Amino acid sequence: MILSEDKTMSEHNHHEHHVSSVGQLWAIGIALTLLTILTVGLSHVEIPAPFDVVVALTVAFVKAFLVCAFFMNLYWDTKFNSMLLIGAFAFFILMVAVTLLDTLYRNDVVPSF
Amino acid sequence: MATAEVSNKKTLKVQRFKPSDNPSNTYLTDEKGVWAWMTTVDHKKIGIMYLVAVAIFFAVGGALALLLRTELMTPAKTFIEADTYNQLFTLHGAIMVFFVLVPSIPAALGNFIMPMQLGAKDVAFPKLNLASFYIYVAGAIFTFIALAQHGLDTGWTFYTPYSTESSSSVIWVTMGVFILGFSSILTGTNFITTIHKMRAPGITWGKLPLNVWALYATSIIQVLATPVLAITVLLLTMERWLGFGIFDPALGGDPVLFQHFFWFYSHPAVYIMIVPGFGIISEVISTFSKKTVFGYWAIALSSLAIAFIGFLVWGHHMFTSGQSAVATTVFSFLTFLVGIPTGIKIFNWIATLYKGSIKMDTPMIYVFIFLFLFSIGGFTGIMLGALSVDIHLHDTYYVVAHFHYVMMGGTLIALLAGLHFWWPKMTGKLYNEKLAKIASVFIFVGFNVTFLPQFVMGAQGMPRRYYNYVDQFTAFHQTSTIGSYLLGVGFLIILYYLMHSLFKGAKSPANPWGSRGLEWQATSPPDFHNFDHTPVVIHGPYDYHQPMEEFQLGLAVDTNGHDSETAKEVVDKEREQWKNYSLG
Amino acid sequence: MDRLFEFMLPEAKSPTADSTDALFHFINEVSLVLLIGITFALIYFAIKYRRRSEDDETPVITHNNTLEITWSVVPLLICFVIFGWGYTGWLNLKSVPDNAYEIQVNGFKWGWNVKYANGAQTLNEIHVPEGRPVKIVLQSSDVLHSFFVPDYRVKHDVVPGRYTYVWFEAEEAGESIVFCTEYCGTGHSDMLAKVIVHTEEDFQTWLEKNGGGVSGTPVEQGEQLVQLQGCTTCHSDDGTRLIGPSFKGLWESEETLSDGSTVTVDENYLRESILNPGAKIVESYDNVMTPYEGRISDEEITNIIEYLKTLK
Amino acid sequence: MSNHSQAHPAHLQHHFVDSDQQFDAAKMGMWVFIVNEILFFGGLFCAYIVFRAWYPDLFTMAATKLDTTMGAINTVVLIGSSLSVAMAIRAAQLNKTKWIKINLLITITLACVFLVIKYFEYSHKMHDGIFPGATLYTYEGIDHPLAHVFFSIYYVMTGIHAIHIIVGIGLMIWIYIRAKRNEFGSEYYTPVEMVGLYWHLVDVIWIFLFPLLYLIE
């Protein structure tokens, strides 16, 4: 008897592992160093209150993206692993955001929305 | 001999393998001796070790509960001091939550059953699995050191600043919980990877047993929530040890922030405890009504929905704590949302019974008990989510009764259902059905006599964690105490007949319930590698309209290329190979 | 059925309790209907569809979207109603009327110290006028407590370093019990108090009689202070062993400390033990007392010591 | 599922079907572990954010006590070590065992440099009486009643990060020993890749710690 099935047994497919070139890796390393110098430099520039944090974090996110995508090979990896990383970060944001919902609004006697 | 086209490209040669009723070689006869057990990486043995550990802790926690109930026979002192009482209820809570409920279903039953339901030989990381068990033991040792020192009197919630001032051994316990957390995290990590990567040919996401779906949702919560518990108890330890000033108001900290941190883990943790129970219920209810589960996707996805929404409702433990009004409102709203997927599950299970072929064996009796008790737990949860009512009921016996209905009436009853369901599979022995039914009556009656009065006295104002109480509550407390003794008797009967079956029980056939589940297509008890062959799955686990033969297919040519060998030879050969295995 | 639900709650004695009680009854009724439905379905199916033979064939019913949507949406709507109802009731509990009479309540291990605007002080007794909104401002000297009056359906945690509050309006003269509902240690379950409701007239008389706080000779003041500050919760004046050492015979006695050294109880030892009790703990007792640093004046300490000297 | 007739390669564990399944499982397990690390540090970042939102002045004042230069040097050191780990993985993929070892040694050295600089930072602060927690904290140079809270957060965040560095050094030494035994090559380099992922994560966390602690104006 022939039994047919439409899906593969599980998600492991045969694929070539990505090998980064030396030039690529050095380029990322140098970019990260330059961004570090940039963020230190920017910290000496007077930027008004909330935006100094925004600028510092933006640079940090760009650096983190470079490390995750190219050093940690997420760029070539299965999308599921990227999803895990983004999911973890989303839950972290959730935790902070909902905690701030309390700590920032303690003074309101009743909800002000 | 048949062929199954399992992937788009490949055609597999498939052959029917009937589970032998007289297995020459099982995981129990293999690798005998204490040392072999202690160093085993076999998921089944690790599952059994967890089960034994959980049972011991449950006995300890249960004994503590009986002591507490006995003390509450009279309004004033009955036989122990207030400080002792405070230590007992703290330990009862901490042991039951951290050492019993959290690992009970995933680490004990899940470890044993889940890889078999996937048709895998083991979990993805067997050594890590063993490591999780020893980390659990290490956590337990730390807690027992605390007991030998000054005990713990903070309540299992460790609320600051009481826990930073208390003269009991808080640090030993927080370190114990910290260590224990890693056990839970590693189990979760292991399970997620196993479910993704270790499924046998043909098991698509739509053919995954609902127990596996439930464990998947549980593992996600474990991985996302437990690290926050670790950091919370670490900060608490530092607060006590060095005076960090993050949680202690005397040093500039905020006790409500501690509650946020604590409940960010501990609320999802109640789903770590209950969601695997849902998985068991789905398996049992379908087997004993011999019928496809109604609303497979509704049940599977509602587990994930619970896992997700469960992260957003922690603040409902803090309605009276002094958190901001806007947070309270948002948390209350989200709390109701988490009730919906739970309700969906209950309705789907009941619909599964419709036009089934229902056999009221012990596991099914526990499922019925579960559905009744858990519904009450759920309804009273809705009550507690309603803001104005919660203000009145918060921290009273109403809450105590509610979470016992959910945690004991839910998780523990589901655990009993699962234990009775898979007991023949795990041990290869049948238990005394008549005694089991008698015990279930004791459990059901005892449970309700214990906890129903607590709803009433809670609503009337009886606060929780009270050593002395005002006279008007005496009758309720006494009824409750008598109920707890009945419960105790029920558990003793269970212990008796299970032990009896272990040594003198009748031999169980491979599939005593006629289940279509993959784990039942192996011998009872299973072979060392679960299956003599790599199973191939073409039907869903609940396709009772398909003939049994089509659930017993396996690769005609084993992937390891030793199809002509007997199971014994395979085991021997692979053990030889183990010696060369490297970590990784 | 209504009688059963009413039996579950204590008699409501504040108008703010009405919405809470109504919602409590509503959820109970809806739950009971659903629970009876579920139980009936379970038992009915178990009997009607019992297994007749091992070869029973069952129909393949995989799902039904109409049913799924029904039993998702209907409970959701009920939940929205409950949320809105609970929310409005709770807003009412949070919004204190402007004319509320304010009373300061300080929770400590283990008792409630109550202060009124005119300087009157009581321990574990909250005297309030009937028919007038009362705002209880809560603060804690040590750990978390929680102020709970079942009769008024109000509760709020008492958080150290912050002020929180509850309000209610007692409907008629009488007494209501107050519980501490946040676990706070050995004496948690004894941390009870009473709300004593007077008629407006009686309340004014009571206030006048007790206005100005402690009075009399230093010894008399000291005696009142050890009551009001809650010292007597843990220290007896007749030699009985409670949570802390008894006051009787304490003065000028020789005490062995937990580190083995001895100390003579004099003014300085007593002063230190009030302000910083953890410094020298008498053997066989636990370090559980709240430090009174910043909560008590030098004159009050002197008066207390004068009183303790009389307890031979 | 290939290689029906071949025997297991030495590195393949008995419960996996083939090397690909083993590699993918290990990698996915590692990513799930990284998820849990992110939430572990996430708890600390949450405490940081809550307190920074409550007391912005405290953070501005107290951050001046942190040595930006040392922090910046450490950032570059960690970036360098991440680069060398990536090179080690590349070497493994290309069967260049010698370069695995050289790159691992560079990484271990840089990790040690990081710790040495961290040691100087800590000892300098402790010399001034800046300790974690109010019990030991004696420094009076910061005019804020909650100065100790900032340094509690600083010490616990950087301290747990430093513990991760130490664990990483241990793992790297273990990998180095195995590389020396010629266990890795293009067919099997899972442990190198896993330790690499771990090490990059430690780097990423520092990438966020650095601006949030040192670069507050």
The pLDDT-based confidence of B8 (bands split at 50, 70, 90) is very low
DSSP-derived 3-state class of residue B463: strand
**pLDDT for A14:** 45
| The one-letter amino acid at C21 | D
Contact residues, D window 98-157, toward B, CB-based 8 Å cutoff = 131-136, 145-146, 148-149, 152-153, 156
**pLDDT for C208:** 86
What is d(CA B327, CA B360) in angstroms, rounded to the nearest whole number? 46
Q: Which of chain B's residues have a Cβ under 8 Å away from the Cβ of C187?
A: 82
3-state DSSP of chain C: CHHHHHHHCCCCCCCCHHHHHHHHHHHHHHHHHHHHHHHHHHHHHHHHCECCCCCCCCCCCCCCHHHHHHHHHHHHHHHHHHHHHHHHHHHHHHCCCCCCEEEEEEEECCEEEEECCCCCEEECEEEEECCCEEEEEEEECCCCEEEEEHHHCEEEEECECCCEEEEEECCCCEEEEEEECCCCCCCHHHCCEEEEEECHHHHHHHHHHHCCCCCCCHHHHHHHHHHHCCHHHCCCCCCCCCCCCCCCCCCCCEEEECCCCEEECCHHHHHHHHHCCCCCCECCCCCCCCCCCCCCCHHHHHHHHHHHHHCC
> What is the CATH T-level fold of the domain C2-94, as seen in this structure?
Helix Hairpins (1.10.287)
Show which of B241, B263, B295 is a domain's final residue. Answer: B295
Judged by CB atoms closer than 8 Å, whether chains meet at B387 and C49 is answered as no
* Mean pLDDT within B4-31: 67
Say if CB B240 and CB B170 are below 8 A apart.
yes
| pLDDT tens track, chain A, 113 positions | 333 333 333 434 445 678 888 899 999 999 999 999 999 998 888 888 788 889 999 999 999 999 999 999 888 888 899 999 999 999 999 999 999 999 999 887 777 66
**pLDDT for B5:** 45
**For D8-108, where are the E strands, in sequence order?**
none
Give phi and psi for C103, each to the nearest 5: -130, 135
Show which of B295, B311, B332 is a domain's final residue. Answer: B295
Kindly identify which residue of chain B lies nearest to residue D30, measuring between CA atoms.
B189
Q: Which of chain D's residues have a Cβ under 8 Å away from the Cβ of B126?
A: 13, 15
Residue B312: HSE in the Cβ half-sphere, 13 Å Cα cutoff: 20
List the single residue in A6, A8, A101 with the smallest CB-CB distance to B326: A101
**pLDDT for D5:** 37
Kindly identify which residue of chain B lies nearest to residue D14, measuring between CA atoms.
B574
Query: Is B298 near chain C, with CB under 8 Å?
Result: yes
Q: Is residue B183 part of a domain?
A: yes
* Residues with Cβ within 8 Å of residue D116, at least 6 apart in sequence: none
- Give the Cα-Cα-Cα angle C68, C73, C76 (nearest 5 degrees): 130
Domain limits for position B576: 1-17+509-584
**pLDDT for B558:** 52
Q: Is residue B573 part of a domain?
A: yes
Q: Looking at the structure, do residues B248 and B148 belong to the same domain, yes or no?
A: yes
Does the predicted interface ipTM exceed a cut of 0.90? no
Percentage of chain D lying above the pLDDT 70 cut: 96
Say if CB C174 and CB C18 are below 8 A apart.
no
Say if CB D193 and CB D175 are below 8 A apart.
no
Higher per-residue confidence, B17 vs D69: D69
**pLDDT for C1:** 61
**pLDDT for B22:** 60
List the single residue in D36, D79, D197 with the smallest CB-CB distance to A32: D79
- Given a cut of 70, the residues of chain C with pLDDT beneath it are 1-2, 212-213
Contact residues, D window 170-209, toward B, CB-based 8 Å cutoff = 178, 183, 190-191, 194
Task: Classify C174 in phi/psi space as left (phi over 0), alpha (psi -120 to 50) or beta.
Answer: left
d(CA D104, nearest CA chain B) in Å: 18
Q: Which of chain D's residues have a Cβ under 8 Å away from the Cβ of A15?
A: 20
Q: Which of chain B's residues have a Cβ under 8 Å away from the Cβ of C189?
A: 82, 463, 465-469
> What is the CATH T-level fold of the domain C101-210, as seen in this structure?
Immunoglobulin-like (2.60.40)
* Residues with Cβ within 8 Å of residue C6, at least 6 apart in sequence: C25
Give me the domains of chain D, ranges plus CATH numbers. Answer: 42-214 (1.20.120.80)
Say if CB D165 and CB D114 are below 8 A apart.
yes
- The length of chain A is 113
d(CA C241, nearest CA chain B) in Å: 13
* Mean pLDDT within B267-290: 95
Q: Which of chain B's residues have a Cβ under 8 Å away from the Cβ of D7?
A: 561
pTM: 0.90
**pLDDT for A12:** 42
Query: Is C35 near chain B, with CB under 8 Å?
Result: yes
Q: Which of chain C's residues have a Cβ under 8 Å away from the Cβ of A110?
A: 91, 94-95
**pLDDT for B564:** 39
Show which of B262, B278, B295 is a domain's final residue. Answer: B295
Contact residues, A window 12-51, toward D, CB-based 8 Å cutoff = 12-15, 17, 19-20, 22, 25-26, 28-29, 32-33, 36-37, 39-40, 43-44, 46-47
Within 10 A of C191 (CB to CB), how many other CB atoms are there?
Answer: 27
Q: Which two tokens stand for residue B207?
A: 């053919």
What is d(CA B282, CA C65) in angstroms, rounded to the nearest whole number? 19
DSSP-derived 3-state class of residue D114: helix
Q: Which CATH architecture has domain C218-310?
A: Orthogonal Bundle (1.10)
Q: Looking at the structure, do residues B115 and B231 belong to the same domain, yes or no?
A: yes
The pLDDT-based confidence of B18 (bands split at 50, 70, 90) is confident
Per-residue pLDDT tens for B326-347?
999 999 999 999 999 999 999 9
Domain boundaries, chain C: 2-94, 101-210, 218-310
Kindly identify which residue of chain A lies nearest to residue C162, measuring between CA atoms.
A106
Q: Looking at the structure, do residues B70 and B178 belong to the same domain, yes or no?
A: yes
Residue with tokens 């015979």: C249
Q: Residue B566: is its pLDDT beyond 50?
A: no
Q: Which of chain A's residues have a Cβ under 8 Å away from the Cβ of C91?
A: 110
Say if CB B541 and CB B118 are below 8 A apart.
no
Q: Is residue B370 part of a domain?
A: no
Whichever domain contains B178, its CATH number is 1.20.210.10
* Mean pLDDT within B241-266: 92
Average pLDDT, chain B: 89
- Output DSSP code: residue B519: G
**pLDDT for C2:** 65
Percentage of chain B lying above the pLDDT 70 cut: 92
Q: Which of chain A's residues have a Cβ under 8 Å away from the Cβ of C159?
A: none
* Residues with Cβ within 8 Å of residue B522, at least 6 apart in sequence: B19, B116, B425, B510, B530, B531
Instruction: Output the CA–CA distances (angstroms, integers) from residue C278 to A42, B165, C251, C285, in the order listed.
Output: 50, 11, 19, 11
Q: Looking at the structure, do residues B151 and B258 belong to the same domain, yes or no?
A: yes
- Given a cut of 50, the residues of chain D with pLDDT beneath it are 1-6
d(CA D132, nearest CA chain A) in Å: 24
